[in-house]
Amino acid sequence: MLIRRRRLLADGYTSDEVQRGVRSGQLILLRKGCYVPPSALPEKPEDRYALRVRATVPELAPDAVISHASAAALFGLPLWGVGLARVHVTRARRNGGSVHRHLHVHSAQLDTADLDVYDGFLVTSIPRTVADLARSLPFEHAVVLADAVLNRGLATREELEAAIERGTRRSGTPAARRVVAFADGRSESPGESRSRVRMRLSGLPEPELQMPINTRLGAYRADFGWPRYRAVGEFDGLAKYGVLLQPGQDPRDAVVAEKRREDAIRDEDWHVTRWVWSELEPFDAVARRIERSFRR
């Protein structure tokens, strides 16, 4: 719930009372003139950033369209490693872009196919948002975003490609094409997307994603599989155990269930290599473990 300063003053609060509310922690300052109660402040940085985007909208120029990371945040897309210091908007002008302390104004052509309305806000469409960020972000960061869009069915690969081609003269277009060509909706988390990029950079054979394996306990899916070598790879995000929990299930039960699953896969003569987030960079040690599993 956003609280505007002008609303507080209209309700009879004085400027001093508003400032005391901020100092005491009863109000959290999102941006000048806009606050939120502590209970309404999200934990995730991306969600906090989305609130700041919403708080900024009334101060934008009438023709400003929320774009880039700001549009992605409103859509709830993962923004791994993306700077969230400024709100991004695009105005349909040939020039006149500017960067301020809290606002980045982009100037670029905006086709009607690139526009959308989300929760009452004028934003760049999901395909255009992916295209914009794929042009400007490092490859790995952009793949995380593109994978998530495909995985959630928010856009097709053809729609992403079309959004890129509508701006072929813009800088970064070749990089954006590489991102979309590599993107794969079978990646189910930022960690899996980053793992795929790291495997490519390490020279590992391309894995089969979400590979089904039949075991004595039933059919399971491995994050990554190399059938030729009877090898599988599992990214262990740890947080995924929260997703796996059934109502009333203890996290320790989920860990035990995951161990039984892995044992069942090994019983079928598959070698399992597991890694965690902190091992993604550098990935060398994980790549060597996977290569050893090929040679066993």
- Model-level pTM? 0.87
The residues spanned by each domain of the chain are 1-41, 43-182, 190-295
Digit-coded pLDDT (tens) for 23-77: 888 887 877 777 788 887 888 889 999 999 998 988 898 999 999 999 999 999 9
The CATH fold of domain 190-295: Endonuclease; Chain A (3.40.960)
Residue with tokens 């790995």: 140
Within 138-270, strands assigned E span 208-215, 218-226, 231-236
Confidence of residue 165 (pLDDT cuts 50, 70, 90): very high
Dist CA 159 CA 148 (whole Å): 14
Digit-coded pLDDT (tens) for 209-229: 999 999 888 899 999 999 999
Q: What is the pLDDT of residue 240?
A: 47
* 282 upstream amide cis, omega within 30 of 0: yes
**73, 53 contact by CB (below 8 A):** yes
Residue with tokens 């998530």: 148
Sign of the four-CA dihedral 219, 222, 227, 231 = negative
Q: What is the pLDDT of residue 246?
A: 55
Measured in whole angstroms, how far is the alpha carbon of residue 6 from the centre of its chain?
A: 34
Q: Is the pLDDT of residue 242 over 50?
A: no
**83, 72 contact by CB (below 8 A):** no
- β-bridge mates for residue 107, sequence order: 91
Confidence of residue 244 (pLDDT cuts 50, 70, 90): very low
Share of the chain above pLDDT 90, in %: 63
